[in-house]
Amino acid sequence: MFKLLFKSIRSRILPVSLVTITLMASMVLLLSIERIQQATKEGFNQSISGVDAIIGPRSSSLEIVLYTVFHIGRPTNNITMKTVDDIKQRKDIDWLVPIALGDSHQGFRVVATEKNYFQHIKYAGDKPLLMSSGLAFNKISEAVIGADVAKKLNYKIGSSIQISHGSGESIGMKHDDFSFKVSGILNKTGTPIDQAIFIDLKGYELIHIGWQSGKKLFSLDRFDMSSVTNDELAPKTVTAAFVGLKSKLTLFKFAKNIQKYSNEAISAVIPGIALSQLWSVIGLVDKGFELLSWIIIAISLIAMVTLIISSIENRKREMTIYRANGASAFFLSKLVVFEALLIGITAIISAIVFVTIVSYLATDQINIALGITPKFEWVSLEEIKVFGIILLAGVLSSLVPAIMVFRKNIHHGLS
Amino acid sequence: MILNTNNLQYTYQNGKVVSFPDIEIKAGQKVLIIGFSGSGKTTLLNLISGALKIQSGEVNLLGNSYSSMSSTELDRLRADHIGYIFQTLNLIPFLSVAENIALGVKFSNSRSALVSNLTVEIERLLKSLGLDKEVLASPVDNLSIGQQQRVAVARALLGSPNLILADEPTSALDQNSTNNFLNEVMQTFNPKSQAILMVSHDLSLAPHFDTVIDFNKANV
Amino acid sequence: MVNKFIIIVLLLFSSISFGKEVSDDYLSQLVDSWTLLAPPEIYDFMPEKLDYKTMNNPEFQKKIDNAGNQINNLMDGKVIEIAGFMVPLKTKGSNVSQFLLVPEAGQCIHVPPPPLNQTLLVEMPDNPTSIRDIYIPIIVTGKVSVGSQSFDIADSGYSLTDVTVENLTFKYEDDL
């Protein structure tokens, strides 16, 4: 039967291929959406590890997580270093890392922080931040860059960086009176850290000397660097502070206390909770996309059934000849159903191969464009289940023309 | 007795009712049924081949009574014992000539078993029907009508089914080719076990047959 | 036939990111226009070499604040081309007929307003332009008039009339 089926398909290869490609495209869509969803979720979840709470101005917790961890969006307020130092004294805190955000370089965000950032901040669960070359900054003029920054801008240890003021808020304002030198390059983490540039908080303060109301009043060339002590370069305000507690059990009590802090309007954001808020929002959007791709698949299946029905007209001769030679109506129906099965399986396998290979080859581009790292995996159990359903739907819907063939032949005989 | 029919009657969808003459065919017989177009000749063949369900009357092939058989059983019966030739378009264009002929035994285990060497048997049939071996290498669409019909006959004869049914196979051939064609057919089939039943509107074919039934006269 | 179709599709896509792409030189010019609005002499009180102490001296700071209020009268009637960010004041539907142009996005809304001589009041009563997000950089061309005005969110030292507005795009696209 299969030899007959293949030769029959070959004689109608153009319409059959078109339908197969249509089906395959719709499945590529579904697969891509689902994999991007997965990777994004994992990527997000991996980006924040070991940080129990983020102290920030009283603002939407989701916003705070987005700009401090993912560098998405802009902070609209700051918190004072005085408050940060005060909180640091608390007994339930194990470590605290303040950060200041605002500047950028060639589109990459600059994170001003203390050296202990690299000690305490982890990713993907518990992986520590390691340098692929060089060391964390020791001097105020030194900078550590993420793996993607080094790759895209071709920076090495010793490369010189001049920072731009703001991250899109200013036009052409550069801190071109001060150069930072790359002292360390981080390993690839698959998180937004890869696209960040780290400098010391004091360096951040230094380059903003002479800036007022967003305007540069004088260049640092005119400034006597020795006139300011290291202590004086300590920032007065920062964007936020990452906190690690000695015991996770004290987390909620800690957050509550911070909420009640009387000297400044601050709050403690628990990243996991904020992220789940994010997922419930995004989840709705995802459901929308999913629905869309299911609709597209349904349309493709309809196209397939349409093809089969129209092909039956073309294959009337073929089928009558089989029938005349003793083929049962059941045999003819099998031809129809198996063709649908063949189209379905080909489309599914092609879709899987296509998506997996593309995401493998384009891992870097996807990483830079979407900030996520696609996992290299041929197909997951969930996906197999979904494809099984689609295949079943395809076969079942092919039963329609199959039954048509069946009945037609029994009632009309040969001609 | 290979085939006999009894009081076969068929009601078409438009209400027209046709009664078919009773037919009896033994091995070796060459039967021609004459009827004008639309008289029901093809319907008769459909009923005899088992492809069309009997409404009233009986058809008996080699002792099997159609009315008590399911459509699957009828299909099997047809596969095992009947060879069918259409008026035109007998061949499937995307199959080779040999594959087309092989369809004759494809749906019957017993009939396949009778053909020990497919290639040899196909070549023998072709030769007997006046076809060159080269025909096997030719794509179906390149064959002339005469060649196509002969290939169809080869298929119908492959595996020696007891009953050959032919639905006006000569209407597209000219007078000369028709004579040659029928001569070759008659000399190729095995009168010891096989019989031929052909329907046509062309009375001039009569000399090739030993029994002629005029359907026009027998019709209601 | 296919080629025509491809070209049309490409054109459609390119028109979506509509804005004037600027070269580095042109960009410097646009940014420098802000300096024109602040007379260069106003910062003459600053010594050639500064140190930390001087900077933080309240007297020094006061002088800086004053400098911000100095208006350059020579600019009156001049036509300038300047780049900045929009802070809408009077809107109608999706258009704005009066807005403030500031050098840094977010000023007046998230961050304190700029000094008097770095805030432009742009008037477009007859030809309103579409509202831009506060983070979209725009190029504004118009005629300067000297005169301070006060608004809830900021005070402005100059107004601009006979105005045209375009979006500005940089060479690298950052999605910050």
For residue C153, the domain's CATH number is: 2.40.50.870
Judged by a CB distance cut-off of 8 A, whether residue C118 touches chain A is yes
Count of pairs with CB atoms under 8 A, one residue in A, one in C: 93
Smallest Cβ distance to B84: which of A318, A325, A329? A325
Asked if A167's CB is within 8 angstroms of C49's CB, the reply is no
Same domain? A69 vs A194:
yes
C-alpha closest to that of A137 among A197, A67, A82, A68: A197
Task: Say how far apart CA A104 and CA A174 lie, in whole Å.
Answer: 10
Same domain? A352 vs A264:
no
Same domain? A178 vs A30:
no
- The answer as to whether A88 is a domain residue is yes
Which residues of B fall within a CB distance of 8 Å from A7? Answer: 94-95, 99
Domain range for C155:
17-42+49-169
DSSP C2-21: HHHHHHHHHHHHHHHS-SEE
A124 or B210: whose pLDDT is higher?
B210
Which residues of C fall within a CB distance of 8 Å from A222? Answer: 46, 48-50
Task: Say how far apart CA B112 and CA B101 lie, in whole Å.
Answer: 12
Which residues of A fall within a CB distance of 8 Å from B106? Answer: 325, 327
- The answer as to whether C8 is a domain residue is no
- The answer as to whether C128 is a domain residue is yes
Report the amino acid identity of residue A133.
S
Residues in chain A, pLDDT under 70: 364, 366-376, 406, 409-415
Task: Say how far apart CA C108 and CA C112 lie, in whole Å.
Answer: 5
- State the smallest CA–CA distance between residue B45 and chain A in angstroms: 9
Which residues of A fall within a CB distance of 8 Å from C84? Answer: 171
Q: Band the pLDDT of C173: cuts 50, 70, 90.
A: very low
Same domain? A351 vs A205:
no
Q: What is the mean pLDDT of residues B183-203?
A: 91
Same domain? A32 vs A179:
no
Instruction: Tell me which of A186-190, B210-214, C9-13 is least confident.
Output: C9-13
**What pTM, to 2 d.p., does this model score?**
0.66
Q: What is the dihedral of CA B122, B127, B131, B132, to 10 degrees?
A: 90
Which residues of A fall within a CB distance of 8 Å from B46? Answer: 413-414
Same domain? A92 vs A34:
no
Helix axis angle, A329-361 relative to A2-11, nearest 10°?
70
Judged by a CB distance cut-off of 8 A, whether residue A412 touches chain B is yes
For B11-47, the pLDDT digits (tens) are: 988 888 888 989 999 999 999 999 888 788 888 999 9
User: Interface pTM (ipTM) of the complex?
Assistant: 0.92
Give the residue from chain C lying closest to A214, CA to CA.
C104
Report the amino acid identity of residue A342.
L
C-alpha closest to that of C120 among C141, C94, C93: C141
Same domain? A111 vs A191:
yes
Q: Band the pLDDT of C175: cuts 50, 70, 90.
A: very low
Report the amino acid identity of residue A76.
T
Q: Band the pLDDT of B219: cuts 50, 70, 90.
A: low
- What number of CA atoms fall less than 13 Å from residue A341's CA on the CB side? 11
Asked if C176's CB is within 8 angstroms of A215's CB, the reply is no
Residue B220 pLDDT exceeds 50: no
A302: left (phi over 0), alpha (psi -120 to 50) or beta: alpha
Judged by a CB distance cut-off of 8 A, whether residue A134 touches chain C is no
Judged by a CB distance cut-off of 8 A, whether residue A369 touches chain C is no
Instruction: Scan for tokens 């290869």, then name that residue.
Output: A13
Vertex C36: Cα angle to C32 and C38 (nearest 5): 115
The mean pLDDT value of chain B amounts to 90
Same domain? A208 vs A328:
no
Asked if A106's CB is within 8 angstroms of C49's CB, the reply is no
Residue B153 pLDDT exceeds 80: yes
Helix axis angle, A316-324 relative to A381-412, nearest 10°?
70
Chains near C with 3+ CB pairs less than 8 A apart are A
Instruction: Scan for tokens 């908080």, then name that residue.
Output: A201
Number of domains composing chain A: 2
Are the C-beta atoms of A201 and C46 separated by less than 8 Å?
no
Number of domains composing chain C: 1
pLDDT given at position A368: 65
Which residues of B fall within a CB distance of 8 Å from A317? Answer: 89, 92
- The answer as to whether A365 is a domain residue is yes
For C82-134, the pLDDT digits (tens) are: 999 999 999 998 999 999 999 988 888 877 888 888 999 999 999 999 999 88
The two tokens of residue A143 are 């900078």
Asked if B46's CB is within 8 angstroms of A414's CB, the reply is yes
Q: Where among A237, A269, A301 does a domain terminate?
A: A269
Same domain? A242 vs A97:
yes
For chain B, domain boundaries: 3-218
- The answer as to whether C6 is a domain residue is no
Judged by a CB distance cut-off of 8 A, whether residue A406 touches chain C is no
The two tokens of residue A3 are 């030899």
Are the C-beta atoms of C136 and C117 separated by less than 8 Å?
no
Are the C-beta atoms of B73 and A330 separated by less than 8 Å?
no
Beta-bridged to residue C130, according to DSSP, are: C95
C-alpha closest to that of A55 among A261, A225, A324, A230: A261
- State the smallest CA–CA distance between residue A215 and chain C in angstroms: 8
Give the residue from chain A lying closest to B12, CA to CA.
A412
Question: To the nearest whole percent, how much of chain B has pLDDT over 90?
Answer: 56
Helical H segments across chain B, by residue range? 41-49, 71-81, 97-106, 109-113, 118-128, 145-157, 175-188, 215-218
- State the smallest CA–CA distance between residue B103 and chain A in angstroms: 7
User: If DSSP codes are grouped into helix, strand and coil, which group holds residue A258?
Assistant: helix
Question: To the nearest whole percent, how much of chain B has pLDDT over 70?
Answer: 98
CATH superfamily, domain B3-218, is: P-loop containing nucleotide triphosphate hydrolases (3.40.50.300)
pLDDT given at position C7: 57
Helical H segments across A117-222, by residue range? 117-120, 147-153, 201-207
Domain range for A350:
2-43+281-412
- State the smallest CA–CA distance between residue C155 and chain A in angstroms: 14
Asked if C27's CB is within 8 angstroms of A213's CB, the reply is no
Pairing of strands B24-25, C155-169: unpaired
pLDDT given at position C4: 58
Neighbours of A299 (CB within 10 A): 13
Count of pairs with CB atoms under 8 A, one residue in A, one in B: 77
Same domain? A247 vs A371:
no
- State the smallest CA–CA distance between residue B55 and chain A in angstroms: 11
Same domain? A316 vs A348:
yes
Q: What is the mean pLDDT of residues B118-145?
A: 89
Which residues of B fall within a CB distance of 8 Å from A318? Answer: 92
- The answer as to whether A144 is a domain residue is yes
